[in-house]
């Protein structure tokens, strides 16, 4: 199930904030999907989890022409560590794949499903990364 609007405010905030840092000319949320906690490897410390997909129109460094970049973000809320974990994945436009070496052109680009698999399998090996407990 995809929620079209309104997106949870914290998911939209992080998406727009990243767009601002990157100098995005436009920012468009396309879909927000809650992740089932029972599917997360971090389910023991995660209170809620969301995946957001959208587009941002950004120009690469030292370039004037802005291109639409598909962006996937996962937001994992970890209240026992008083933090949100934000994972961001930029899916480059199809024409930028030509800048890859020939050995990488045969590899398919990552999909939203691949990103969700990464997010759901993420584990925490050292909680001290969030500071002393």
Residue 2 lies in a domain: no
Residue 1 lies in a domain: no
pLDDT score, position 2 = 36
| Cβ-contact 75, 68 below 8 angstroms | no
Residue 71 lies in a domain: yes
Does the pTM of the predicted model rise above 0.85?
A: no
Q: Which range marks the domain in which residue 25 is found?
A: 9-128
Instruction: Grade residue 3 by pLDDT with cuts at 50, 70 and 90.
Output: very low
Residue 77 lies in a domain: yes
If one counts the domains in the chain, the total is 1
pLDDT score, position 21 = 61
Cross-strand bridge partners of residue 53: 31, 72
Domain at 17, CATH number: 3.10.450
pLDDT score, position 58 = 75
Return mean pLDDT, the chain.
79
Instruction: Grade residue 117 by pLDDT with cuts at 50, 70 and 90.
Output: very high
CA nearest neighbour of 46 among 21, 20, 76: 76
Q: What is the mean pLDDT of residues 60-83?
A: 85
């Amino acid at each position: 199930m995809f929620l079209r609007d309104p997106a949870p405010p914290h998911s939209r905030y992080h998406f727009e904030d990243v767009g601002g840092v990157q100098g995005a000319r436009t920012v468009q949320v396309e879909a927000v999907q809650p992740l089932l906690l029972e599917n997360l490897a971090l389910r023991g410390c995660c209170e809620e989890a969301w995946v957001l997909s959208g587009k941002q129109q950004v120009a690469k460094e030292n370039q004037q022409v802005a291109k639409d970049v598909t962006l996937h973000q996962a937001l994992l809320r970890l209240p026992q560590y008083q933090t949100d974990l934000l994972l961001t994945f930029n899916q480059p436009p199809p024409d930028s794949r030509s800048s890859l070496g020939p050995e990488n052109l045969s590899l398919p680009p990552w999909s939203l499903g691949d990103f969700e698999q990464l997010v759901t399998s993420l584990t925490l090996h050292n909680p001290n990364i969030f500071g002393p407990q």
